[in-house]
C-alpha cells in the first residue's frame, strides 16, 4: 500500500467516518453505516470500494449482507496512524453511533 494513497483515502470525511465506525465495532454492515452516517447505500458503497481497493478494509458476505472489518495485514505504519485516530477520540458523533446501534436491518 502506498502511503500517499492511504492518506488521500483518509482525507475524505466520509471514508474517515467509515473507518472510525469500523474501529469502534468490528464487522460493520453497510446498513449500519447508512444509518450511522445518514448517507445513501450507493454513496457508502462507493467509498467502501476505495477502502477495499487499497486493502484497508476487508469484506465478508453473510447471506444478503456484507460486513466490513479492518485488514489485519495492514502495514505497521498504517495501523499506527489508525490507532492514533482512535486514541484521539475524533469521534463519529454520538448520534451516528446511536443510529448505527439501532440499525436492525442485518440482524
**Residue 32 Cα to chain centre, angstroms:** 10
- Joined grid coordinates for residue 38: 445518514
Residue with cell 446511536: 98
pLDDT averaged over the chain? 86
Domains of the chain: 3-98 (1.10.10.10)
User: What digits encode the pLDDT tens for the residues 48-64?
Assistant: 999 999 999 999 998 88
- pTM listed for this prediction: 0.82
**Which three-class secondary structure string do you get for the chain?**
CCHHHHHHHHCCHHHHHHHHHHHHCCCEEHHHHHHHHCCCHHHHHHHHHHHHHCCCEEEEEECCEEEEEECCCCCHHHHHHHHHHHHCCCCCCHHHHHHHHHCCCCC
Q: What are the two backbone dihedrals, phi and then psi, of residue 26, each rounded to the nearest 5 degrees?
A: -65, 155
Amino acid at each position: 500500500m502506498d502511503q500517499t494513497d492511504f492518506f488521500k483515502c483518509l482525507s475524505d470525511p466520509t471514508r474517515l467516518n467509515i473507518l472510525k465506525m469500523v474501529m469502534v465495532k468490528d464487522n460493520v454492515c453497510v446498513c449500519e453505516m447508512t444509518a450511522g452516517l445518514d448517507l445513501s447505500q450507493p454513496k457508502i458503497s462507493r467509498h467502501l470500494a476505495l477502502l477495499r481497493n487499497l486493502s484497508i478494509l476487508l469484506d465478508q458476505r453473510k447471506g444478503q449482507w456484507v460486513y466490513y472489518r479492518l485488514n489485519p495485514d495492514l502495514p505497521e505504519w498504517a495501523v499506527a496512524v489508525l490507532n492514533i485516530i482512535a486514541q484521539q477520540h475524533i469521534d463519529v458523533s454520538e448520534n451516528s453511533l446511536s443510529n448505527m446501534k439501532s440499525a436492525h436491518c442485518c440482524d
